[in-house]
Structure 1
Amino acid sequence: MNLSIFFEPLNEDVFVKLNKPRTLGAYINRFVSKFPDWRSADIAIIGINETRGRYTEEVTETTTPSTAPARIVRKKLYTLHKGSGRCQIVDLGNLRPGITLDDTYLRLKEIVEVLISHNTIPIIIGGTHDLEYGQYLGYEHLDRVVNMVTVDSSVDMTEDTSAAPNKKQLRQILMHDPNYLFSLGQIGYQSYLVEPEVMGTLEKLHFEAYRVGEVHRNVQEMEPVVRLADLLTFDISAIRHQDAPGYEPANPFGLTGEEACQICWYAGLSDNLTSLGIYEYDTELDKRRLTAMTIATMIWYFMEGFYHRKNELNFDSKQFTKYAVAFNEDNPDRMIFYKSKSSEKWWLEVEPLSSEKASRIVPCSYEDYLQAIKGEVPNRWILTQARIG
């Protein structure tokens, strides 16, 4: 497939001064005059200057801000020093928006589908958060269920049909036919920004949701949540205004920039995760380019995490130590845990209620193992078994 027809090349004049030795700008192969060989790349950067998702009425033309978000993020990202290990990364340029917003979703779907089919991870710099719908559609061809994690201060699942697209894309994902979403993890939401009915829907569907205070208390507990995901989307509004002022409405509360980078590091480390989308950056509100630097650093941590992956997916190998936890002498049931000998990460095997369905091995934390030893059933086990059925 000729992906170049979907993209606008970058202006090389912007990047001439960024090609200093040992910086990412010297290593990333960019689409300027010749489209880069994405098939041999580990990661592909994609910019999308699409903001029609912010409007409640149909807008026929894109309303790109005077300074495109992806362009500003690139200028910060390319100045960062390359990490350890190899660096096979391409920048495909900016995706040409469709005639309608739905056309843009479908274009993004095609791009994501092709890239992940060739084991190239797209990093999408948006654009409004509703573009995650197109990112999600890129997994439809896999013919299996997928897991998704979204980091956001709110939950974009309103039932208000007149709301802007970037306030209801999660409902669009849930209503999509065929339905191939197995789990959804919501990280960093703030209760006073979310309709109670929406949280009730998440609970009924046995999805995981973590308030921003829970992330503050123990960001390490977000690692298993992220490790389960096939795709991760990040709304910049999840980050407090002090660390990322480039979004509206302004919010003094949220994740710190450090916590955002930690989550992206976890995503990069995950052997399951195959796409990352970062959305809702408004350059007009980012006068000192602090948000751009925060996003660039998040992407740097994701890339660095990727090049530290352990390929820990074969639980029958000698890479893992297997633990069987019995609840009591009268109960023959056992809960099976796996611990990686190299990364020391934990997994939990969940048996289905129906004998016709297969068990699933899902990421967990050491805290889940300690809870099982005490004779308590971890909430992660309960939610997973409920989804399996």
Structure 2
Amino acid sequence: MSNYKLPKKENWIGRSSGHQLYLNEKVELSNITSKFPFNSHKTFALLGYSSDEGVRRNQGRVGAKFGPDSIRKQLGKMPNHLTQETKLLDFGNLECNGQELENLQKQLSNTVKMFLDKNTIPIILGGSHDLAYGHYHGLLQHLPKNKTIGIINFDAHFDLRPNTDGNNSGTPFYQLAMEHRVQGTPFKYLALGVRKDANTKDLYDFAEANQAFYLQRKYFCMTHAEHVELRLIQFIEDVDYLYTTIDLDGFSSAYAPGVSAASPMGFSPDIVLKSLKLIIESEKLMALDVVELNPNYDIDDQTAKLAASLIHYAIHKLA
């Protein structure tokens, strides 16, 4: 694949202990085009979706294609608490050739399926949120047809815009909703942290018409933590597996200035971490991605550090 780029050791920087005390010492550089062994222990596969074509099509500010490597540079500095048997593999980046976004999504789907077939947990680094369409389809390809996947999206936006002019960062869950409608299968979707100042009325109407669940930003906070937990439990109990996607533009710009669509009105990390804990403890989580990091607008790598911290928490909790 001409748009596949191998992982780079220079993206994994940090202290050297000689005893794998840091993730830059723990990570192994791998290659999706060559066979890697099935591992009975927990294995995490990091793959970058190095594209902001979907953001460009959605009239956003570009730069998210540089997000995956920025996350790696912060993740590598963090301490390693994984067991010796647990594997952390970096498979490099899938890049967008020109404007061939739809081909990139198909490649992501095939790669995610390969990871899951090898008993490996995909952690996809974004990149624009259109990766969610490809990521979800990789899960579908892996699972039996009778299994349901619940999508939990931490986001300011529904991303339920019609794709009549092509796929973009605002359309992935609309596309999935339409496919489920055609197939006559339930669309299991929960958006946490959506805001009225970030979504038009027709998007709320579409969510209601397609039985998509959501929780407004004003209720997605620690003050309403019990309500958040109840909504999550109800959603999780109704599905077989979970796919979780974290859009960094859902966070307040106080925490995440370096995103494609920043706002000071977003949510905070504490409620996301509390929610992730519940999601992971359900033992239904299949895959995770963190999207929309735009290093061009980051301040002191603050957003990259947030993304890395979320991934650090998730892999250690899953392990």
Asked if Structure 1 and Structure 2 have the same fold, meaning a TM-score greater than 0.5 normalized by the shorter chain, the answer is yes
Structure 1 CA distance for aligned equivalents of residues 200 and 262 of structure 2:
19
Aligned to 2:93: 94
Other-structure match for 1:79: 77
Q: Are 1:246 and 2:258 an aligned pair?
A: yes
Structure 2: segments with no counterpart, 5+ residues:
none
Higher RCO, 1 vs 2 (CA within 8 Å, ≥6 residues apart): 2
2:302 is equivalent to residue 296 of structure 1: no
Structure 1: tracts of 5 or more residues without a match: 308-389
Aligned residue runs from structure 1 range 174-213, under 5 A: 174-176=177-179, 178=183, 182-213=187-218
Partner Cα separation in structure 1 for residue 163 and residue 113 of structure 2 = 30
1:169 maps to what in 2? 172
Asked if residue 276 in structure 1 is aligned to residue 280 in structure 2, the reply is no
Aligned-partner Cα distance in 2 for 1:98–1:291: 26
In the alignment, residue 205 of structure 1 is paired with which amino acid? N
Q: Which residue is equivalent to 1:156?
A: 159
Deviation at 1:67? 8.0
Q: Within 5 A, what are the aligned runs for 1:56-135?
A: 56=57, 65=63, 68-83=66-81, 85=83, 87-98=86-97, 100-135=100-135
Deviation at 1:204, TM superposition (A): 2.8
- TM-score normalised according to structure 1 size: 0.69
Amino acid at match of 2:262: A
Counterpart of 2:188 in 1: which secondary structure? strand
Q: Does 1:9 align with 2:18?
A: no
Q: 2:56 is aligned with what amino acid?
A: Y
Q: Equivalent residues in 2 for 1:36-51 (5 A)?
A: 37=36, 39-40=38-39, 42-51=43-52
Q: 1:113 to 1:223 in 2, by over 3 A?
A: same
CA distance in 2, matches of 1:121, 1:67: 22
Contact 1:222-1:263 at 8 Å conserved across structures: no
Q: Does 1:220 align with 2:229?
A: yes
Take 2:116 and 2:160, find their aligned partners in 1: how far apart are those partners?
Answer: 26
Instruction: Give the match for residue 30 of structure 1.
Output: 29
Aligned residues: 300
1:299/1:92 CA distance change after superposition, 3 Å? same
The correspondence for 1:231, drawn from 243, 246, 254, is 243
Closer, same or farther in 2 for the Cα pair 1:260/1:11, shift >3 Å?
same
TM-score (norm 2): 0.83
Q: Distance in 2 between matches of 1:121 and 1:295?
A: 17
Change beyond 3 A, Cα 1:19–1:108: farther
Partner of 1:147: 150
Check 1:29–1:201 CA distance in 2 against 1; reply closer, same or farther (3 A cut).
same
Over 3 Å counting, the alpha-carbon distance change for 1:170 and 1:5 in structure 2 is same
Q: 1:302-341 maps to which residues of 2 (within 5 A)?
A: 302-307=314-319
**What is the CA RMSD across the aligned residues, in angstroms?**
3.0
CA offsets 1:136-188 (integer angstroms, 9 cap, x no match):
11133221332211111011112474587112221111122546554111111
Query: 1:38–1:120: 8 Å Cα contact kept in structure 2?
Result: no
User: Given the superposition, is the C-alpha separation of residues 222 and 296 from structure 1 closer, same or farther in structure 2, using an over 3 Å criterion?
Assistant: farther
Paired amino acid for 1:192: D
Flag the 1:269–1:278 CA change in 2: closer, same or farther, 3 A: same
Paired with 1:151 and 1:57, the residues of 2 have a C-alpha distance of 19
Q: Given the superposition, is the C-alpha separation of residues 172 and 14 from structure 1 closer, same or farther in structure 2, using an over 3 Å criterion?
A: closer
Whole-Å separation in 2 of the counterparts to 1:254 and 1:158 = 20
